[in-house]
Amino acid sequence: MKKSLLALAAMGAFAGAAQAQSSVSVYGIMDGSYSSIEQNATDTTGAKTTVKSRNTVNGDGALSTSRLGFRGVEDLGGGLSAQFVLEYDLVNIGTGGNGNYGDQSAAAVDTGTVASGFGPRYSYIGLSSKDMGTLRLGRQESPSHGAISANLAGGANNVLGSLYSGLDAGQLTATQTPSVRPHNVFINNAVGFISNNIGGATFQLMTAQNAYSATVATPSAGSQYTGGSVSFTGIKNLRADASYGVGATTTTGLANSNVKRVTTTLGGNYNFGIAQLFVLHTQNKFENLNNPTQSATMAKDMSNTKLTEVGVKAPVSKVIDVWGNYFTGTRSTGSTSVTMVQSATAAAAAADIKGFQLGTTYAFSKRTTAYGIFGTQELKGVGAANGAKLEGSMYAVGLRHTF
């Protein structure tokens, strides 16, 4: 009897050890806020329209995008491990986290603003080696995203006043928002590699076919993406990032279908102890790949947007942080017929761009944070669009919990 009990205990211990090498966890963020947005659009004739929106617990989340994720890791032995991540955007937790925007187009599915169901975020499987790095297959964040989000004083929040801000269809329409986000956060159908830390530097490489949705700003099905980044953290309190990405369509027959997009990023931050300083510069250039017979009215250089943001973040106490940032830039273009810009009212042509943001967080615990954020930004048309302007201001007060 004792031998049987010992054998059973041994088998149980063995099973427990086997299970310990493979684990699946559930994680996420719930972020709800009261937000107020005022948008003013002025056309070249001086006519002005105003849109105001006040929401309770609406949208993706002001400080962080609400999400639900599943993460799995299995130890394969010999320094190898397998992993997967499946993560969804909780489009609107105020209505159950499954969206209510009424848009089920291909572009909406790609960006996460779907009418029902969870918005797509990460969806990849991968292998990691302690000696070489990590290989991932599936939908992942672009190399540009890490380089940009790491060098913003307010992080990748969803409030106006930062070059990152990208208000969704639940708040303002595409022709109302002055958002100027310079990059695609996610790349579909991607093969990505992230190196181990080499002398303080980490490298990321990515390539993809059919990488974007069917819009000009994110080229249509059949498109390609190739990009990479390097992050340096080898000096105490310093981080520096650089990224480069090229996306291009392969479809034909439409005036705006064949577009090459080049996104470059340089950024860095340094923690002085009493405050942390952030600097970020981005350039987003679109080029027409169609020959003149396909698109006689379009210039080769469609648009070139350059943005620079500086910010500072400081701890007021052990539980309170404050930050502020200012960004400025320009958008030049060789064609007024380009439809990839955020607003036809404020000019499909050239524009001067600026904005600022102020924010604070109060940490009740490591997982629960209260916050307040205010931001404003402006696109002011120049040249042929002189007099046109698109302005937006926004504030949000909310609560975020991570799990």
DSSP string covering 196-255, please?
PPBTTEEEEEEEEES-S-SSSSS--TT-EEEEEEEEE--STTEEEEEEEEEEE----SST
Pick the range with the lowest mean pLDDT from 89-93, 181-185, 187-191, 357-361: 89-93
Tokens of 129: 């080696």
**Domains in the chain, start-ordered, CATH in brackets?**
23-402 (2.40.160.10)
pLDDT band at 14 (very low <50, low <70, confident <90, very high): very low
Rounded CA gap, 81 and 77, in Å? Answer: 7
Q: Give the tens place of pLDDT for each residue, 57-105.
A: 877 789 999 999 999 999 999 999 999 999 998 877 877 776 554 444 4
Rounded CA gap, 6 and 330, in Å? Answer: 75
pLDDT band at 387 (very low <50, low <70, confident <90, very high): confident
pTM of the entire predicted model = 0.83
Rounded CA gap, 332 and 55, in Å? Answer: 34
Pick the range with the lowest mean pLDDT from 133-147, 286-300, 332-346: 332-346
**Residue owning tokens 């491990």:** 81
> What per-residue confidence (pLDDT) applies to 170?
55
Ranges of H-type helices in 236-326 = none
pLDDT band at 279 (very low <50, low <70, confident <90, very high): very high
Compute the average pLDDT of residues 151-166: 92
Rounded CA gap, 124 and 52, in Å? Answer: 39
Q: Cβ(180)–Cβ(187) under 8 Å?
A: no
Taking CA 300 as the corner, what is the angle to CA 298 and CA 303, rounded to the nearest 5 degrees?
A: 85
Q: Give the tens place of pLDDT for each residue, 226-273.
A: 999 999 999 999 999 999 999 876 544 444 457 788 999 999 999 999
Q: What are phi and psi of 363, to 5 degrees?
A: -90, 105
Closest to 97 measured CA to CA, from 115, 118, 111: 118
pLDDT of 185 higher than 80: yes
User: Distance of CA 233 to CAs 200, 229, 269, 276, 314, Å?
Assistant: 5, 13, 10, 15, 20
pLDDT of 393 higher than 60: yes
> What per-residue confidence (pLDDT) applies to 301?
62
Closest to 138 measured CA to CA, from 206, 68, 55: 206
**DSSP per-residue string spanning 321-368:** EEEEEEEEEEEE-S-TT---SS-STT-SS-EEEEEEEEEEEEESSSSE
Count CB atoms within 10 A of the CB of residue 89. 22
Q: Give the tens place of pLDDT for each residue, 207-219.
A: 998 876 544 444 4
pLDDT of 115 higher than 60: no
Compute the average pLDDT of residues 125-146: 96
